[in-house]
Structure 1
Amino acid sequence: MKVTPAQLTELLSLYVPKRLPVLITGRPGIGKSDIVEQTAHATDHELLISHPVVEDPTDSKGLPFPSPDGTTAKFLPFGDLERAMTARRPLIWFLDDLGQASPAVQAAKMQLLLARRVGEHVLPPQVTFLAATNRRTDNAGVSGILDPVISRFATVVELEPTIDDWTQWAVRGNIPPALIAFLRFRPDLLSVQKTSRDIENAPSPRSWGFVAKTMDVVPKHLEHISYAGSVGEGAATELVAFLQIFRELPNPDAILLAPDTAMIPTTPSALYAIAAALAARANENNFDRVVRYTERLIGEGHREFAALLVRDAVQRSPQIQNSYAFIGAQGGEIGKIIRGE
């Protein structure tokens, strides 16, 4: 069953407090681990991340230790198993890349997942299992997961990234407005299934994150090379072309100085760019000017872009909602946008 990041986040917020294990599948780099980390923070759980692909079956069973008289032996937990066994606070035990682990390692997890014990050692009740894996078709070294292991999860879902969820995250994370505008213009490039086995990257939320981190430091003459190494040559070519449009538009500060007369673009790419750039500049002190320009956008039939501008501005700077301009706009078209009407 495919789920969006927002749906997965809500689902985990319900399953984790009930101690129900969840298996998350999906392409590499789409945010599975990030969502688990956010869930741990939101539900006040500690987070223990294990990588079964580099484990041995004894990691899930413990090491045999003889009694003083040498007649018996007990399996003593160590490493991640010991930390889980001694947990005092709510803990999410996250098994990352489970599908890349050997069948022997996967089999060793079965008793932990269902019986919540290994031999005489019982997991404390405050431990919850979550796991993630790529799919067989993702060229990630996944041979599959044993059916008895799959059946031990309360639910199995496939994460599918969406541009709406990504942009909400990007706005909150102060991702460069130019990149937000570009991916809104070309949402099909947010996550692309890699079809070759060549040693190159493909567009994904993770790889676009690397682009975001380098946009402020890479000079123009190296942009195409840098971005192609992160997201592939095709996506990088389109991004560089979009950046040329973005840079030739009126400066957002100039628009805020003259919101009643500043140019309003006509092409979708330029409108995405202006909306993202103005949202990044908006604050309590200048929101009255943003409102005036936004009203002009609505008047010229660009309501969709006006909605993006206002929503991004509020998400990036929530204190805008306390401004007189924001409160005063509630009765007009901008108020309808804010209320989602």
Structure 2
Amino acid sequence: MIPLSLDIAADLLALLHDTATEPRADPQLEALTLAVAADLPVLLWGEPGIGKTAALTQLAEALELPLTTVIASVHEPSDFSGLPVVGDDPATQGVPMAPPDWAVHLAREGRGLLFLDELSTAPPAVQAALLRLVLERRVGALRLPPGVRIVAAANPRSSAADGWELSPPLANRFVHLQWAHDHEVVVRGLGGTWPRASLPRLDPERLAEAVAFARRAVCGLLAVRPALVHRLPQNEARRGGAWPSPRSWDMALRLVAFATAAGTSREVLSMLVRGTVGDGPGLELLAAMDRMDLPDPETLLADPAGAELPERGDLRQAVLDGVVEAVRKRPEKPRWDAAWTVLGRALESGPPDLVVVPASTLAALRRPDWDVPASIDRLAGAVSLSRQADLAAARVAAGRRG
């Protein structure tokens, strides 16, 4: 029997580490990259062993940033607030708070990715000490340079060793991203081919446009929904996640600008805004952004024959409702006729059921001396057919209940 040789074992390990990569879109990594580029602290939430650390390593290599890992739960509060060092004359010079070696190393490098791991296992005293580091980038008397980015990782309390809920002040300083594994990626990776994600790129031609769009979106929503400016959750667990405050709305505005400049997908944008102000306010912001791109009803009424309507059903419905509402506010025969033309365009290019309610409402706005336009015949047939289908579906449902 051949005795075990560490040289042969090293050869076997080298074969196991010899893997290939392939390009693959990764919305999670794209959202993380944009948040890091926006210079916002990010907190990755996920079960143990699903690749949070591997994602950070890949991101640091792609951005050419040195990675510094600090396990928050094994440190004392003084490791983040600074260790007091008594000088020759503390009565006149004071007692400086000396930073730990990892902070000095980051300051010397001038740039880097600081990874605060196991954040949910850090006791409340350590979390309190982290507040200044996360928000002001200060460790003791040392200020970290602008080239340092901060990313943390945490396990849900149910799967964390001696886990704690995050304090609301600390939680509100992070962009919270839920991290999950992809079954197909894991299988292909174990088979020897791991994904290589392409990172988003900012378009220098769209920077000013992106900032203006983000400001209009956030300010427009908060102007009509002032209750969303600050809403501290009542539930303790929810306080440890994303929730709306002036600070988190400022972060959301910054992320919308970065996502717009990068031309990112709606999925990535949704991750970012919901991870900053919470699911409910985040979805309201996304809906408000959708409405910002809708055509003005007055423009459609001015040129109904050339009306361009959105493809998405919910957006198309909102446009048609807006056109009818514009006629209701200023009912005039030419505007009423133009609205029927717009509805006719919608019938030609989309599902007829979206026209039913606007057509019924528009018909009710007719004045006795207004002639019925010729285009209404096609719409009347579509409305009648749609209503017959609804009645048939209702009869089937009633039969099943019987």
Q: TM-score range by the shorter chain?
A: 0.3 to 0.5
Q: TM-score, length-normalised on structure 2?
A: 0.40
Pair member with larger Rg: 2
